[in-house]
Amino acid sequence: MSVHAGLRVAQHEARGAEGERDGVAALAGAPGLAGAPAEAGSRSGPGLSGWTVRVHAAPGSPQGSRGVRLHALLAPLDLCGLRLPPLEVELGADGWAVGRVGGETLWRIRLPETRALSALYLSDEVAWLPLPDGVPDSVQVPDGVQVPDGVRVPDRVRSRHDGGPPEGAPCAFPFALPLAVKPWTLRALGALPAGEVVARDDDVTYVLPPRRAETRVPVALLVLLEGRGRRVRLRPLSPGAVFLALSRQPSSLQLARHRARAFAGLAGLLRTVPAVGLVTPSPAAGAAALLKILP
Amino acid sequence: MTGGAVTAPSSAPVSGPRLAARFATEAARFATEVVLFDPEDGRLVVLSGAAASVWTACDGRAADEVARAAGLGVRRVRRILRDLERAGAVAREGAGWRQRACVEV
């Protein structure tokens, strides 16, 4: 069995019109960005963004049916990645699946008999595990996963579920940061906020909120917080202004391995989503103002 | 900002010599701006208005031809070209001007 999946990532076309004022704004040093790639593309069969995935199994074998299941699981899977080499997944008759890129084995995983756990994908520091709906969005890496020396697998991997905004829509891939509840906060609250305690560091407790987005979410507006003021003020920001402003913050553009992808991602987002700067006396007042202008 | 002067956020002053270094860029075009980015060291240059138009026209043409293509005066274009050169966004090529090697995203 051979399943060949691919996605051509199309570039947004937004050729510039001539402007009315001069300007070269430059920043030496650390630029930054917070955003996710907004991809527009045409799919040809099931695909992963930027990936070509080939699944191999002997015809008529039990692994063949696993291949079909893997094929079905891959369809909704969406990875952030560009110009990635083909990923070869071989479902062996010995009950193991092997993932290779360029002939190099990246991982081996024992195929479960009954569960839909079919493959583990490594992309930089992130491991992705395609899972059906109804399972947590983060799971423990199974003991059966074996990887060669030098390839680090995190203890937990994120799964991806179907759903979310239409293909090509600007979107963000949410991730949840645990709340760091400090002693004085805990005293003020009287009890820990709802959620899962994921770590403790001295007297700080880290709590993962229970309500989290499980899949990509549409982005309608990019908001830069520009400090506090006595009145709520919103002002439109050009893409260049957003780049310069975000360049002063910690972001993916400061991570050498992610800079190019982060730049392309933010550029794609800013071609389709407006940006505003927000000055507000309080988060609540700012939220109310934003709700008024959201489409 | 007239003449395409090089400016930078006050928190990150820009020096000419530093910017004059080789600038392998990625470029993102927007309606009235071009954002250049060097993934190697994270440098960012934003060209707006006339500067973006001049940079766009730098395909080996001489300054007066760039001015014609951009619809701007030659003196103004020469000032912008000097700023772009200091920023590492364009380089002289014989009698003409050309964008530094870049990939558009």
The whole-number average pLDDT for the span B54-59 is: 94
The mean pLDDT of chain A is 62
Contact with chain A for residue B24, Cβ under 8 A:
no
| CB contact (8 A) between residue B51 and residue A23 | yes
Chain centroid to Cα A286, Å, comes to 26
Residue B67 located in a structural domain: yes
Our count of domains for chain A comes to 3
The whole-number average pLDDT for the span A10-18 is: 24
Our count of domains for chain B comes to 1
| CB contact (8 A) between residue B29 and residue A260 | no
Contact with chain B for residue A259, Cβ under 8 A:
yes
Q: Which of A19, A244, A260 sits opposite B44 (nearest CB)?
A: A244
Per-residue pLDDT at A148: 41
- CB burial of residue A100 (10 Å; 0-12, 13-18, 19+): middle
Contact with chain A for residue B69, Cβ under 8 A:
no
Do A110 and A187 lie in a common domain?
no
| CB contact (8 A) between residue A16 and residue B3 | no
Q: How far apart are CA B57 and CA B94, in angstroms?
A: 16
Per-residue pLDDT at A18: 28
Per-residue pLDDT at A160: 44
Residue A27 located in a structural domain: yes
- What ipTM was assigned to the predicted interfaces of this complex? 0.78
Q: How far apart are CA A15 and CA A143, in angstroms?
A: 50
| CB contact (8 A) between residue A26 and residue B4 | no
Per-residue pLDDT at B34: 92
Do A16 and A141 lie in a common domain?
yes
The whole-number average pLDDT for the span A173-177 is: 67
| CB contact (8 A) between residue B47 and residue A268 | no
Residue A172 located in a structural domain: no
Where residue B54 falls among pLDDT bands split at 50, 70, 90? very high
Per-residue pLDDT at B13: 30
Better-scored residue on pLDDT, A93 or B2: A93
> Is the model's pLDDT at A209 over the cut of 60?
yes
Residue A151 located in a structural domain: yes
User: What are the pLDDT digits (tens) for B59-84?
Assistant: 999 999 999 999 999 999 999 999 99
| CB contact (8 A) between residue B105 and residue A247 | no
Q: Could you give the percent of chain A with pLDDT greater than 90?
A: 7
Do A202 and A256 lie in a common domain?
no
Contacts B49 to A, Cβ<8 Å: 18-23
Per-residue pLDDT at B24: 59
- CB burial of residue A30 (10 Å; 0-12, 13-18, 19+): middle
Residue A60 located in a structural domain: yes
Do A201 and A221 lie in a common domain?
no
Per-residue pLDDT at A252: 79
Do A136 and A28 lie in a common domain?
yes
Residue A168 located in a structural domain: no
Do A24 and A136 lie in a common domain?
yes
The whole-number average pLDDT for the span A110-124 is: 44
Our CA dihedral for A53, A54, A59, A60, rounded to 10 degrees, sits at -10
| CB contact (8 A) between residue A24 and residue B89 | yes
Instruction: Provide the shortest C-alpha distance from residue B40 to chain A (in Å).
Output: 7
Residue B32 located in a structural domain: yes
Residue A31 located in a structural domain: yes
Whole-Å CA distances, B43 to A246, A259, B13, B51: 13, 10, 12, 18
Full domain range(s) for residue B87: 23-104
Residue B34 located in a structural domain: yes
Q: Which of B1, B28, B42 sits opposite A29 (nearest CB)?
A: B42
Full domain range(s) for residue A224: 217-293
Per-residue pLDDT at A15: 25
> Is the model's pLDDT at A169 over the cut of 50?
yes
**For position B29, which CATH number holds?**
1.10.10.10
Residue B48, beta-bridge partner list: B33
Helices first, then strands: H and E counts in chain A: 5, 19
User: What are the pLDDT digits (tens) for A135-159?
Assistant: 444 444 544 444 444 444 455 444 4
Residue B42 located in a structural domain: yes
Do A62 and A188 lie in a common domain?
no
Per-residue pLDDT at B64: 96
Contact with chain A for residue B68, Cβ under 8 A:
no
Q: Which of A26, A264, A268 sits opposite B6 (nearest CB)?
A: A26
For residue A218, what are its two tokens? 């549409």
Per-residue pLDDT at B41: 82
For the entire predicted model, the pTM comes to 0.51
Per-residue pLDDT at A85: 64
**Closest CA relative to residue A260, chosen from A81, A10, A123:** A81
Do A145 and A285 lie in a common domain?
no
By C-alpha distance, the chain A residue nearest B34 is A240
Do A195 and A221 lie in a common domain?
no
Do A11 and A152 lie in a common domain?
yes
By C-alpha distance, the chain A residue nearest B36 is A26
> Is the model's pLDDT at A176 over the cut of 60?
yes
Better-scored residue on pLDDT, A123 or A21: A123
Contacts B44 to A, Cβ<8 Å: 26-27, 31, 243-244, 247, 253
Do A83 and A121 lie in a common domain?
yes
User: What are the pLDDT digits (tens) for B17-42?
Assistant: 334 445 557 899 999 899 999 888 88
